[in-house]
Amino acid sequence: MSTPSPNPPTVLTVDDSPVMQKTIQKILGDTYRVLCVDNALDALNTIYKESILVVLLDVSMPDIDGLEVCRTIRNLPQFADLPIVMVTARDKAFDRVQGKMAGATEYLTKPFSPETLRQVVDRYASAASSS
């Protein structure tokens, strides 16, 4: 288990499931600062206030779904390069196409293994530190 650096990179998880939020926090919390919100407005508010490494975004949420949140973020020029990983149980080809069209950087299907989630986030962390 690695010790978190004094200022670990911040991962934002947007999911209306407290269980999923806790799961992601448990998997990534030893390496990253994990912020959890459960709706679109809090997600947008958070990306403005915090320096976010990557957004883990659930597709199925009440009110405004993850695809709409993704499109909204992509329409803001300052967040054009922010990695957005759709984290969802929807795994049909059509769902993946919708995610890509909304601007998702990557698509991760639930249930996922802790290793898979770590690999995805670590990839963006290493890309950010090398830029």
H-state helical runs in the chain: 18-28, 40-49, 66-74, 93-102, 114-130
Contact assessment for residue 124 and residue 83, using Cβ atoms and an 8 Å cutoff: yes
Task: Provide φ and ψ at 82, rounded to 5°.
Answer: -65, 120
Q: Give domain status of residue 3, yes or no.
A: no
Lookup: tokens for 38? 């459960």
Q: Give domain status of residue 24, yes or no.
A: yes
Lookup result for tokens 């659930």: 58
Q: Give domain status of residue 108, yes or no.
A: yes
Q: Give domain status of residue 100, yes or no.
A: yes
Using CA atoms, how far residue 65 sits from 21, 60, 71, 88, 119, in Å, is 16, 6, 10, 11, 25
Q: Give domain status of residue 51, yes or no.
A: yes
| Total domain count, the chain | 1
List the domain range (segments joined by +) for residue 62: 10-130
Indicate yes or no: pTM above 0.95. Answer: no
Q: Give domain status of residue 1, yes or no.
A: no
Residue-wise pLDDT tens for the chain (131 aa)?
445 457 899 999 999 999 999 999 999 999 999 999 999 999 999 999 999 999 999 999 888 999 999 999 999 999 999 999 999 888 889 999 999 999 999 999 999 999 999 999 999 988 887 76
Q: Give domain status of residue 84, yes or no.
A: yes
Neighbour-count burial for 35-57, b at 16+ CB within 10 Å, e otherwise: bbbbbbeebbebbeeeebbbbbb
Q: Give domain status of residue 37, yes or no.
A: yes
Report CA torsion sign: 16, 7, 86, 79: positive
- CATH number for the domain spanning 42: value is 3.40.50.2300
